[in-house]
Chain A
Amino acid sequence: GNSVTQMEGPVTLSEEAFLTINCTYTATGYPSLFWYVQYPGEGLQLLLKATKADDKGSNKGFEATYRKETTSFHLEKGSVQVSDSAVYFCALRESGGYQKVTFGIGTKLQVIP
């Protein structure tokens, strides 16, 4: 079946540091890939997505590139802010008509001033 593996965290960084959260996946076919973010006390929000190999999703300074050869979708940001503190979930949606989404474990990011 499909699966998503991401680092467990927590990840603690100083403000303006570079962020990488690794995500790898296992899936049949050609899934779409997503990063969701959950701020404290709120629901998950879609951060960015990529629907095919070599696509780069980007939003709010975050980027992730769909790498089919390494089955990865690592999340990066060049300079994190305190306001980026949240839990980040990597996810995939299998190709085809069924819309089921498979999530990773979630990685908690703490950015300190």
Chain B
Amino acid sequence: GAVVSQHPSRVICKSGTSVKIECRSLDFQATTMFWYRQFPKQSLMLMATSNEGSKATYEQGVEKDKFLINHASLTLSTLTVTSAHPEDSSFYICSAIPRGIAGTDTQYFGPGTRLTVL
């Protein structure tokens, strides 16, 4: 089946630094990728929709300058948390829709990245 990887799986950083999280579709091309955030004991919250070659679409309340998304190729999207603070500590999950497939029924999820900001 289709596989989506995320790197790193865990990251700890100091407050004020920036952290980049990669999301890769390993065996398919993805024109659309999604970034989610999950707080403890809460559901996944969609942060933004990333389309290859164009600017990401952010959900209401998500700071574009804080969470930089770059979908530079059909197999890679990156999320950069800039000037991270402890409140940015969370579990970040990406998903990808294979190129040529319509509908989010076939979105494939990565295993997630645990970010801890000290």
Binding site for B on A (CB under 8 A): 4, 8, 32, 34, 36, 38, 41-46, 49, 89, 93, 99-106
Contacts and interface: CB of A to CB of B under 8 A. Distances in A.
Interface residues of B, number: 19
Interface of B: 4, 36, 41-44, 46, 93, 95, 103-112
Given A43-B4, A46-B105, 19 more contacts: A8-B41, A34-B105, A36-B109, A38-B109, A41-B111, A43-B93, A43-B95, A43-B109, A43-B110, A45-B109, A89-B44, A99-B103, A100-B46, A103-B36, A103-B43, A103-B44, A104-B43, A105-B41, A106-B43
Nearest to A51: B105
B91 to A, nearest CB: 11
Given A43-B110, A45-B109, A4 B43 contact: yes
Residue among B44, B95, B107, B109 with the highest chain A CB neighbour number at 10 A = B44
A52 B114 CA distance: 36
A43 B43 CA distance: 15
A105 B4 contact: no
8 contacts: A8-B41, A41-B111, A43-B109, A43-B112, A89-B44, A101-B46, A101-B104, A105-B42
